[in-house]
Structure 1
Amino acid sequence: MKRFIGVKQLAFFSALLIATLLALFPLSQHPAVFSYSAGVVLVTLMFWSTGFFPPFMAGLIFFALATIFKLIEPSILFSGFGSTAVWLIISGFVIGSAITQSGLSRRMASLIAPILTSSYPRLIAGLVFSAVLLGFVMPSSVGRAVVMVPIGMALAEQVGFARGSHGRIGIATALALACNMPSFAVLPANIPNMILAGSSENLFNIHFGYTEYLLLHFPILGLLKSILIVALVIFLFPAKIDKNQPERVIEKEAYNLGMQKKVALLLAITLLFWVTDSLHGINPAWVGLTTAILLLLPKWGVLEPKSFNSSVDLSTVIFVAAALGLGALVNHSGLGTALGQLFSEWLPLQQGASFLNFMSLSLIATLTGLVATVPGVPTVLSPMAADFANATGFSTPAVLMTQVIGFSTVIFPYQVAPLILAMQLSQEPLTKLLRITLPLAAITLVALMPLDYLWWLWLGWIN
C-alpha cells in the first residue's frame, strides 16, 4: 500500500531542511546568528501554521532552541511574559471565568436573546456589530472578547447549539474576529494601532488624528470587513435556530444573585477604567490584573483562589509569550529589516505606478505580519517608511498608513494573541478560525485592497 506525504508533512520537512542548511551553511553576507535565527523562526512558524505540534509545545521548542544556541539574550527572549499583552490575557481568563461561573453571562444572554435569536443570521450579525461598536469605547480587544464571548456562548446554549456544532463554532469565530479585526480601523482600539501612532510621532513627528484615521480606514477595513465576516461565518458554518424548540430556562436558583451583582459592579468599574485610560494613564492590563485579584480574594471574591489554575490556560500564555519572543528575535537579529528590504526589492515599487505601489506596500505589511506577528509590523516597517516614500513617490504618512491594511489582514491565528484568547474562552478549536481567516485574507487581497486604493484616491491620500 502506497503512502503519500501530506501537504503539512511536506511543508514541515521542507522547512526543517532549509533550517538545517542555514545552520550548516550560514549566509556569508550576515553574521552566523542571523542564519541560525532565520532557521529557528522558520521552523517555529511552520509548527504554528500547520499544527504539526500543539502551539504551546512549538513555543517551548522555540524557547529551547533560542536559548541553547544563544540567539538572543534571555531577558529579551522571555520579555513576553512581562508584557501587557500576556497580563491582559491572564486577567482576561479570570474575568471571563467569573462572568461565566457567576451566571452573569447567562443572565445577560437571556436579556438580549429575544432581540437576536429569531434567526441564525440575525444572531451572528447582531453579535458581530455589537463587538464592533464596543471597539469604539473599549481600547482592548482582549477586554472586548472577555465581555462578548461568554455572552455569545450562553446564547448558543440557550438556542440549543451544542459544543462542536456549526452554530456554536460560528458564534465563537464570529466574536473572535469581530472583537479584533474591525477595530484595527479605530485608532486607540488595538495595540498595533498605538504602536504605529507612537513610532510615527517618534521617528517622523507625524501625528494621526482620531477622525482622520477613522475616515481613512473604517469604511473598508471596519464596516465592509465586518459584513464579510458575517457572510463567511453564515456560509462556512451554516446553522438554523429551531423556533419550535422549547426555550431553555435559566436556573436562577443555581446562581448567587449577590455574586452576579458583585461581578457586574467590578466589570462596570473595569470597563470605565478601560474606556478612560487616556485620562488616567493606567494601562488596561494593570486594570484587568487588579480586577482579577479582587475576583480571587478569599471570602470576598467570586472565584476560589485555587480555581486560578483552572481559569487560566497556561498553554495559551506560553504560546502568546513565545509569539512575542519570536517577534523580539526577528527584530533583534535583523531579520525584520532584511525581510522589509527583500520585500521592497521583490515587489514592484516605482514612482508613478500608484496602484502597484499601494498593493505592494500593503503586501509587505501583510507578509511581515506572518513572520514578526501583527504587533511587530509597525516596529519592523516604520523605520523604513521614508525609504519607501522615496521609492514610491507617496507621502510618508501614506506609507505609514498602508501598514494598517497589512496588519489588519490576519492569515493565521498565531499572529494575533486576542484571537487565541477568544477561541480558548469559547472552548472551541482554534483551527476552526482558519476556515474564516484564510478566505477573508484572500478576499481582502483581491477585493478590499483595490477598493481601499480607490477610497484613498477619492480622499486625496495618494495621486
Structure 2
Amino acid sequence: MPAAAAKPIPTPRHWISLVAVVGVTLFLLGMPAAPVMVRAGAVIGLCIGLWATGWLPQWLTALIFFTLCTLAGVAPAETVFAGFGSAATWLVFAGLIIGAAIQYTGLGATLAQGVGPWLEGSYRRALIGVILLGLAMAFFMPSGMGRILLMVPILTTLADHLGYGQGERARTGLILGGIMGTFLPTYAILPANVPNNVLMGAAEAVLGTPPTYSDYLLLHFPVLGLLKTLLLIGVMLWLFPGQAPAPAREQMPSLSLATPERWLAALLSVAVLLWMTDAWHGISPAWIGMGVALVCLFPGSRLMAEKPLQSISFDSFIYVAGIVSLGALAYQSGLGTLVAGELLSVLPLRDASDAAAFGMLSALAMLLGTLVTLPGIPAILTPMAPGLAEMTGWSPEAVYMTQVVGFSTVLLPYQAPPLIVGILAARISLRETARLCLVTALLSVVLLWPLDYLWWQWLGWL
C-alpha cells in the first residue's frame, strides 16, 4: 500500500497568526461604531504584518482581508474588491496564461537555448547577463508586470539549460537576478512601472504639467538606474554565489521553431510592439495582455493544454487583487493621508538643510510604501507637493521627484505586486527575496542616496 500523505501540522507561527486574525475579527464586530480609519487600520495592520512575515500564504492573507472587510462592513464593496477591477490584476492573469503558453509550446526552452551560449563560461557572466537583459527590456516594454511574467519562464528554462538544479543558490540567483534587474533599477525610466505612471498622472492633475521622459531619465537614471544596477549585481554575487554553469549540450534540440512556437512568437511580437507604443494608441498593457491570453486559451490554438486553467495556479492573481484593494482601502479611508500628514508634522522641514530635506522626503515616501504599497505613494504625496515646496523653498517638481528615490528603495517584497508575482511564478523563497530587498535598500540609503543628492545639486534641481 502507498504511504499515506503527510498531513500538514500547524506551527507556532500559524497559531499566532490565527490568534491575531481572531482578535481583529472580535474587535471589528465588537466595535462597529469605531472610526473608519481605526477599523481600516486594524485590518491593514494585520494584513501587512502577515504579508511581511510570510507566516501565512500570501493568497490566504488576501482572502482574510476580503472576508474581514466585508463581514465587518469596513468599506464599500467597490473599495474592498477594487483589486479585481484593477488593470494590474488582470495583467497578472494574462501573464499566467502567457507564461503557461511559453512553457507548453517549448518557446521558453528555444529562447533559452539561443541566449544560453552568450551566458556560458562563468556564473558571474550569466548573472550579469540576465540582470542587464532585464534592464534593457524596460526601455521597450512599459509594463513591469508584463516584463517579469514574460521573463520568468525564460529564466527558469535558462537555469535548467545551464545546469542549475532546483534548490541551488546559483539557480535562485540567476532567476531572481533577472526579475530584480527588470524591476528595481527601472523606476528610473518614466513609463516602466506603475508608480512612475501614477506620479506622472498625479503631477499633471496637481501642477498642470507632467514630467517629461528626458528630464525624468536624466535626473534619475544615472544613479537610481545605472549605479543601482551595479549595486544589485554586487549584492546578488554576494548573497547568491554559484559555480560555473555546466550546460548539457548533448540534450540541446535544434533551435528551429515548431509551428505553435512560431505562432506564439508572432503573437508575443505583436504584444511587445503594442506595449512599446501604448503612449500612442492608449490601450492599457493589461488589455493587450488579455488579448494575447484569449488567443492562447481559444480552443484549437495549440498554444495551451486541453484544459488550460487546470494547470495554472491563481495564488498570485488573488494576492495582487488583495494588495491593490488594501492600497485602495488605505487611500479611501484617509489612513494613508493621515499617516503622511502626521509624519510631515514632526519633520523639521522649514529649518532643514537641502540635504536633510532630501533625506526626509525620500524616507517619507519609502516608509509610506510599507502602508499603501508603492503605487499609493504618489497618489498621496503628490497633492502635498505645493505645500511642501513652500516649506522647503524648492520647486514643486523637485519635491515630488523625491518620491522616486523613496519608492525605488523597496524594503519588503509585498510592497511591489510585480515582484511578488515574479517570485511566486518562479517559486522563489519569499524569505530570500525579503533579505535581498532589505540589504539592497540599506546599501541604497547609505551609498546611493548621498550620490543622488549630489547629482541633483550638480544638475541645479536643488
Note whether the superposition's TM-score is higher than 0.5.
yes
Aligned pairs (5 A) from 1:168-207: 168-207=171-210
Amino acid at match of 2:281: H
Alpha carbons of 1:93 and 1:403: their partners in 2 closer, same or farther (altered >3 Å)? same
1:350 Cα deviation after fit: 2.3
Partner of 1:300: 301
TM-score scaled by length of structure 2:
0.92
1:308 Cα deviation after fit: 2.0
| Mapped partners of 1:24, 1:60: distance in 2 | 18
Amino acid at match of 1:86: T
User: Are the equivalent residues in 2 in contact too, given 1:8–1:50 (CA < 8 A)?
Assistant: no
- Runs of at least 4 residues off by over 4 Å: 6-26
TM-score scaled by length of structure 1:
0.91
User: Are the equivalent residues in 2 in contact too, given 1:163–1:428 (CA < 8 A)?
Assistant: no
Partner of 1:276: 277
5+ residue gaps, structure 2: 1-10
Alpha carbons of 1:24 and 1:157: their partners in 2 closer, same or farther (altered >3 Å)? closer
Partner of 2:5: none
Aligned pairs (5 A) from 1:300-449: 300-304=301-305, 306-311=307-312, 313-351=313-351, 353-449=353-449
1:450 Cα deviation after fit: 1.2
Q: Secondary structure at the match of 1:122?
A: helix
Q: Secondary structure at the match of 2:374?
A: coil
User: Are the equivalent residues in 1 in contact too, given 2:151–2:179 (CA < 8 A)?
Assistant: no
| Mapped partners of 1:145, 1:350: distance in 2 | 41
1:101 Cα deviation after fit: 1.7
Matched, 1:46 2:49: yes
| Mapped partners of 2:18, 2:350: distance in 1 | 37
Amino acid at match of 1:421: V
| Mapped partners of 1:450, 1:14: distance in 2 | 43
Matched, 1:250 2:263: no
Alpha carbons of 1:237 and 1:218: their partners in 2 closer, same or farther (altered >3 Å)? same
| Mapped partners of 1:455, 1:337: distance in 2 | 30
Alpha carbons of 1:392 and 1:21: their partners in 2 closer, same or farther (altered >3 Å)? farther
CA deviation profile, 1:129-151 (whole Å, cap 9, x unmatched)? 11111101110112211332222
| Mapped partners of 2:15, 2:220: distance in 1 | 38
Matched, 1:286 2:253: no
User: Are the equivalent residues in 2 in contact too, given 1:340–1:364 (CA < 8 A)?
Assistant: yes
Amino acid at match of 1:59: A
User: Are the equivalent residues in 2 in contact too, given 1:11–1:46 (CA < 8 A)?
Assistant: no
1:165 Cα deviation after fit: 1.0
| Mapped partners of 2:45, 2:231: distance in 1 | 31
User: Are the equivalent residues in 2 in contact too, given 1:169–1:428 (CA < 8 A)?
Assistant: yes
Q: Secondary structure at the match of 2:81?
A: helix
Matched, 1:132 2:135: yes
User: Are the equivalent residues in 2 in contact too, given 1:185–1:222 (CA < 8 A)?
Assistant: yes
Matched, 1:259 2:260: yes
Q: Secondary structure at the match of 2:266?
A: helix
The alignment covers a number of residue pairs equal to 451
Partner of 1:3: none
Matched, 1:64 2:67: yes
Q: Secondary structure at the match of 2:307?
A: helix
User: Are the equivalent residues in 1 in contact too, given 2:161–2:248 (CA < 8 A)?
Assistant: no
Alpha carbons of 1:88 and 1:391: their partners in 2 closer, same or farther (altered >3 Å)? same
Amino acid at match of 1:111: G
- Quote the RMSD (CA, aligned, Å): 2.6
- Identity over aligned residues, as a percent? 37
Partner of 1:37: 40
| Mapped partners of 1:356, 1:329: distance in 2 | 32
Q: Secondary structure at the match of 2:360?
A: helix
CA deviation profile, 1:154-192 (whole Å, cap 9, x unmatched)? 121112111121011101211221121211111111111
Alpha carbons of 1:341 and 1:305: their partners in 2 closer, same or farther (altered >3 Å)? farther
Amino acid at match of 1:40: V
Alpha carbons of 1:382 and 1:94: their partners in 2 closer, same or farther (altered >3 Å)? same
